Structure 1
């Protein structure tokens, strides 16, 4: 639930795995967020460049065909429109070197797969403190 009942927060989920998209969507919708999903980095770049869409947080998988999540992250951070968009990198790449690389590229939070709902909600609340969850 949000601290401002009139504000519906929105999330963009970028992941090439349909099961992950479904799980993340379920978690976010249960937390009261509107959700859009895209299956790859190219689609994410396209959606984020469209002025019809504005998101409050993005969940970004690292390993995807085509443009990687890391490359999407770098493009987002270089853009003026979405440079401050909170981004949670969620990936199976869990080494300290990869974690550091993701955070240095601009991820606000690094969530290693597999994760449970508690870890997910903790990452969301850390990244979006303006949202109060039940």
Structure 2
């Protein structure tokens, strides 16, 4: 299947580089010279996009304005947006984050970096689409779940469980991505002991899933599992996700500084974005081997913690 991407940039040379770099990798590129043209293309419903590569500074409608429109749309909001920018200060990054950016490219960038980021974004989106299909398969009765205990071992099992947990929450689509991220983190980094640098190297060589499958069968990892506890209280839902790993420096990955430091990389932002966009709070205990997710049931309640608490 050919995957279609939307590239938005007012510089024709940049569009040419994007098209040349990604066409040879099997992607189809639809080009727009500014935000207004991109919005018209999106509204035409002629294409189903797997990612949008968006320049920040453009005439007529700039990248931030278009990004906000995309993320406000129920139809487009889940499409990953790869934000091209030369502005990498914390205030600039915060503005992009608040508008819905997740993946970043800092200009000038190499073709190899472009291809790696696009592959990562599209892979994440395909997994999300598959999980969202399960949100609408008659699991509405899970809204009545009060207490539940689960045990998983593999990435496949985490993708099966995530829609179940999400459907037990008042806004399943909001929490689905975050739950998937925390479950995958517990398996990959917790039980299987894949470090940040190892994941970077495996990503760059397109060998991450191969290594995950290898470790799942290795004697030192094959008996490890992740425990999940779900509890619905009067005013909130608590989800505990506990792995059997050594833990990690979780505070480092929940700070705004960590997000800006890792923004231009293929990974390292997941738990920050989960807390920011999917949950009302996310806290780790036991040295990072136990995550506690909080989802408030009163929609008018404020966040338990400020969005950017370090």
Gaps of 5+ in 2: 127-204, 207-310
- List structure 1 segments (4+ residues) > 3 angstroms apart after TM superposition: none
- Please tell me whether the aligned partners of residues 88 and 111 of structure 1 are also in contact (alpha carbons under 8 angstroms): yes
Higher relative contact order (CA 8 A, sep 6+): 1
Please state if 1:78 is matched with 2:101.
no
TM-score by length of 2: 0.39
> Structure 1, residues 57-100: CA drift from partner, whole Å, max 9, x if none?
11000000011111000000111211111110012222222122
> Structure 1, residues 76-127: CA drift from partner, whole Å, max 9, x if none?
0111211111110012222222122212211120111000012212211221
Please state if 1:94 is matched with 2:73.
no
Please, which of 27, 42, 59 is the counterpart of residue 36 of structure 2? 42
Aligned length: 127
Question: Residue 70 of structure 1 aligns to a residue in which SS?
Answer: helix
Partner of 2:107: 113
- Please tell me whether the aligned partners of residues 86 and 106 of structure 2 are also in contact (alpha carbons under 8 angstroms): yes
- Please tell me whether the aligned partners of residues 41 and 69 of structure 1 are also in contact (alpha carbons under 8 angstroms): yes
Give me the CA root mean square deviation: 1.8
Gaps of 5+ in 1: 1-6
Return the offset for 1:49: 1.1
Question: Residue 25 of structure 1 aligns to a residue in which SS?
Answer: helix
1:1-134 matched pairs, under 5 angstroms? 7-129=1-123, 130=126
TM-score by length of 1: 0.87
